[in-house]
Amino acid sequence: MIRVVMNEIGRADGRVQIKITFVDESGNGIARIRAQDSSGEVLDQQNLDCRRTYSTRTLDVPLDRSPLLAQSAECGASAGEPGPDGYTYNTPLELRVLIPVDPDENPCSIPSELMEEGGTPCSNGREVANGIADEIRDLCAEWARIREDMLDHESQETAYTAAAAVALAAAFVCALVAAMLPWPVDLIVGLVAATLFVAALVLATLMAYHRQEAEHARGELADTEARIEDARNRYRSVVGDAIRACCGRVPSGMELDPPVC
């Protein structure tokens, strides 16, 4: 997937100055982009050799040429079937929904060297993204702990299952042998059979306990995986918001991709 972010830099005399940023969220990279207005005039068109982001120069567009069309395609065989002209994604961009702001209040009027300082929209956007990244890392640590518990219970279940089967088989054999022996030897062998049968019951109880705990851990693991995926989706969304707040730039100290477990 390629996300498209549009920033308004300014507007005057029926024209709007914008910057369009393309952000690859798939990891494949961007193969090509094209931006054009409603008349079909091409505003920017590039082959990008699988870069992860691309920002256009500031584009000066008449308001009556809305909506714009941002087209893009990923690199790689998994990028999906390209559409007309080789573009997989076609994203309409409506200029009129942007609220005009006073140039002095426009965050894009801040000098680039000050844009990422604390308290700016750009800095705040980066902090939100990094906060979600920390949340994902904590969830990954929780996932690893739960998975370790699950594997331990599965291993214990397997071991107790095998031990219970051996004890039960031995008890059965001892009972058969006891039936063929004279007294008092049959009594002794019968006691051994009874002891092995009780041991098999205890081992089966332990097996059932670890099976239940392993099943519980599998449920927790699935729930944690869902929470991780939700956090990763939120991260991708706020990365787009942070880039918009940074006027089309990827802020320093923020990764394009969410952490992986």
Least confident range of 106-110, 169-173, 174-178: 106-110
Q: How far apart are CA 190 and CA 173, in angstroms?
A: 10
Token look-up 């060297």 returns 113
End-to-end CA distance of the chain: 21
Whether the Cβ atoms of residue 121 and residue 242 lie closer than 8 Å to each other: no
Token pair recorded at residue 257: 């991709």
Per-residue pLDDT of 207-248, as tens digits, reads 999 999 999 999 999 999 999 999 999 999 999 999 988 988
pTM of the model: 0.78
pLDDT at 82: 64
